[in-house]
Structure 1
Amino acid sequence: MSPPRFAVIGHPVSHSLSPFIHARFGRQLGIELEYVAIDAAPDNFDASLAAFAAEGGVGANITLPHKQRAAAICGNLSERARRVGVVNTLTRTATGWDGDNTDGLGLVRDLTGRHGQDLRGRKVLLLGAGGAAQGVAPALLDAGIADLFIVNRTDARTDALADALGEPDRVHPRYFNDLGSIGSFDLIINATSIARTATGELVLPGSLIAPRCDVVDLGYGDAAIPFLSWARASGADHTIDGLGMLVEQAAESFRIWHGVRPDGDAVYDELRTHESTLATAD
C-alpha cells in the first residue's frame, strides 16, 4: 500500500523547501508519506488540484498565487481561514476540500518562540496586502500588538484588508506617499516582493526605524537580502527572515494532516546550516 500523498501547489514552485521539510517531519515521527511540488499556472489551479485528488492526494499546501482561489473552492473553512480569506492548507474529505491557514500561527511562533520577541503593545508596519499579509495580520493582532499600519502598492487592497480585519481602533490603512510621514515603528514586516530587489523599486525612508526596531522579511535566502540589508543599514535592532515561519507553518499543516506536531527546531537548524540552498518564500 502506497503512503498518503501530499503536495505544495504554486507558480513558480520548483524552489519550494516544503517537500524537504515534510519529508524530514515524517522521518522524525516515523510517518510514511509522499510529498511533491506541483507547478500550476493561475488558470490551471483547479484542474491541477483535481488531478492531484484523482491520483490519491489527501492534503496540499498552497502558495502564491493561489491562496485566495484555494479558499474559494473549499467546502469548509476553519475559523482562522474564514477570517483571513486565504488558505495555505487543504485537507481532502469525503465531500471535497477543507481549508485552513497556518501562516499567521507560524510567524508568531517563530517570532515569540525562536527569536524571543514580545509582540504585546508594539507598533507594527505591514508592507503588503496580498495573500501573505492576509495570512499573518490577524495573528499579529491576536498576539497583542498595539497598532497595525498597512501599506500596499494598491490602495484598494490596503483598504480591503483593513476593513476585513474589522478593528479600526488598531488597524490603520496608509499609502506609499505616507511612508515618510507616518512615524517610526517597533516592528516592520515585509509581506511583498516590492522591497526584495536591489533595483530601487521601493525606496523606504530610514525614519521608519524606531530605536530597537525589529524587521522581518517573510522571504528567505537571497529573496530577503535587499530588504534586510536596508533594515540593518537603517539601524534595525534585529533582522529576521521567513525561514522560521516557513518551518512553523509547515509543522502546523503537518499536525492538521497527521494529528501530531513535529519539532520544527531540528529542521530549522538543518536548513540554517545549508543557507546557500535557500531561494525564496513559499
Structure 2
Amino acid sequence: MDQYRVFGNPIKQSRSPFIHQKFAEQTQERLNYQSEYVEIGEFSQAVKQLINIGGKGANVTSPFKEEAMALCDKLTERAKLAGAVNTLSFINGEILGDTTDGDGLVNDLLANNVALKNKKILLLGAGGAAKGVILPLLEQSPTQLVVANRTVSKAEAIIQQYPAKPIFCCSFEKVTNYEFDVIINATSAGLNGQALPISEQVIQSNVTCYDMTYGIELTPFLEVAKLRNAAKLIDGLGMLVGQAAVSFAIWRNIQPDTQPVLTSLREEMSK
C-alpha cells in the first residue's frame, strides 16, 4: 500500500489524515496516510526514512515548510514564489516540491460562488500564509490585489516579485483609502485576543470576508464581519480540504470531490 505522511510539530491537531482517508474511500485509491510528529532538527531525516520505506509523498505543515523547500530537487513556480512547500512528491529518486494552499483558497472561494475576476481583493498579512496564495489569486485576473501589513516593507518585498501585475501594498491604517469586494484574512489577529488590524469601516455590506483560520464557532474576524452585515462569511476549512485535494490529485492523478469531505469534516468537528 502506498505510504504518505503529514509532517509537523505540533501535529496532533492535524485533520489531514481524516481528509485524505475520505478522498481515498471516495476515489477507491489504496493508500496509507498518517500524521507524524517530527522533532526540530530532524525533518530531513524523517523525509529520508519515508523515502526509504517506499513512500510516495508527504504534506508539510508548520514549522517545516521552508526546510522542505530546501530539500527539493525541483520546485513549481508557485512554490518558488511562495518561498515554502507543503507538498512533496518522491519520483525517480528526486524530491519535487509544490504548494497547494493558494489553489485550495481559490477553489474554495469559487465553490462559494465568490467571483474574483475583475474584483478588488484585500489580503491581510504578508507572512507565509499570504505569500502562498498570491499567484493563484492573481491568476484569477482581479482588478487589483492589495496586500496590507503592519510592516509595509514586508508587503513591498512580496509585490516586487510580480512586476506588471495589479498588485499593491499599504499599511493596515491606509486600507481605508480603498474599497474592496473580497477581504481575505491571512493573519492570526483576533485569535489571541488582539484587535483586528484594520478599521471595521472597510467591511461594507457588499464585501465577502474570508478567514484562512477556522473553528467550530465563527473566528473573531468573521464575528466582526457579521456585525458589519458583510455579504458572505467563509472560514478556512474549505481551503484546508481544498489544498489537500490538490495534493491528492498531484500524487494520485485523480481529482476528488471536496464538498462531501468538507461536510463530513464539519460534522466530525462539531461532535
Under a length normalisation based on structure 2, what TM-score does the superposition of the two structures give? 0.91
Task: Tell me which residue corresponds to 2:106.
Answer: 108
Matched, 1:87 2:82: no
Paired amino acid for 2:177: I
Cα deviation per residue 1:62-121 (whole Å; 9 max; x = unaligned)?
Answer: 122322222222101123323333221100123331011221111111111x21111111
1:146 lines up with 2:154 in the alignment: no
The question of whether the paired residues in 2 share the 8 Å contact of 1:215 and 1:231 is answered with yes
Q: Quick check: 1:208 aligned with 2:214? A: no
CA separation of 1:160/1:23 partners in 2, compared to 1, >3 Å: closer, same or farther?
same
In structure 2, how many angstroms separate the alpha carbons of the residues matched to 1:42 and 1:127?
29
User: Which residue does the alignment assign to 1:255?
Assistant: 249
76-85 or 16-25: bigger deviation = 76-85
Amino acid corresponding to residue 167 of structure 2 in structure 1: V
State which of 70, 73, 88 in structure 2 corresponds to 1:72. 70
User: Which protein is richer in helix relative to its size?
Assistant: 1
Task: Report the counterpart of residue 280 of structure 1 in structure 2.
Answer: none
Q: Secondary structure at the match of 1:269?
A: helix
| CA positional deviation for 1:159 | 1.7
Deviation of residue 61 (structure 1)?
1.0
Equivalent position of 1:231 in the other structure? 225
Identity %: 38
Task: Provide the rounded CA distance (Å) in 2 between the counterparts of 1:38 and 1:129.
Answer: 28
Which residue of 2 is the match for residue 190 of structure 1?
A: 185
Show the counterpart of 1:175.
171
Q: Which amino acid aligns with 2:126?
A: A
Q: Is the contact made by 2:172 and 2:198 (CA closer than 8 Å) also made in structure 1?
A: no
Q: Structure 1: which 5+ residue stretches go unaligned? A: 278-282
SS in 1 for 2:210: strand
The answer to whether the 8 Å contact 2:209/2:233 transfers is yes
Per-residue CA distance 1:118-174 (angstroms, 9 max, x = gap):
11111111112222211111111111111111122443321221112334x511111
Secondary structure, counterpart of 1:273 in structure 2: helix
Q: Is the 8 A contact 1:106 1:252 kept in 2?
A: yes
CA RMSD of aligned residues (A): 2.0
Whether 1:128 and 2:125 are equivalent positions in the alignment is yes
Q: Confirm or deny: 8 A CA contact 1:67 1:131 kept in the other structure.
A: no
Q: Distance in 1 between matches of 2:217 and 2:13?
A: 12
Return the letter of the residue paired with 1:215: C
Residues 210 and 236 of structure 2 are in contact (CA less than 8 Å); yes or no, is this contact kept in structure 1? yes
The C-alpha deviation readout for 1:185-216, integer Å capped at 9, x for no partner, is: 2111011212333x224443112113310000
3-state SS of paired residue (2:62): coil
After superposition, what is the alpha-carbon deviation per residue over 1:22-66, rounded to whole angstroms, capped at 9, x for unaligned? 011111122111111122355332233223333432211112232
Verify the 8 A CA contact 1:150 1:158 in the aligned structure 2: yes
* Cα pair 1:196 1:224 within 8 Å, conserved: no
When the two structures are aligned, how many residues end up with a matched partner? 271
Aligned partners of 2:136 and 2:83: how far apart in 1? 13
Structure 1 residue 43 and structure 2 residue 41: aligned?
Answer: yes
- Paired residue for 1:99, among 70, 74, 97? 97
Alignment CA distance shift 1:51-1:265 (3 Å): same
Q: Retained in 1: the 8 A contact 2:184–2:211? A: yes
Secondary structure of the corresponding residue to residue 117 of structure 1: coil
- What is the letter of the counterpart of residue 85 of structure 1? G
Cα distance between partner residues in 1 of 2:189 and 2:139: 26
Whether the 8 Å contact between 1:220 and 1:242 is mirrored in structure 2 is yes
Mean Cα displacement is larger for which, 232-241 or 72-81?
Answer: 72-81
**Which of 229, 237, 251 is residue 243 of structure 1 equivalent to?**
237
Q: Secondary structure at the match of 1:92?
A: strand
Taking a change above 3 Å as real, the CA distance of residues 31 and 255 of structure 1, as seen in their structure-2 partners, is same
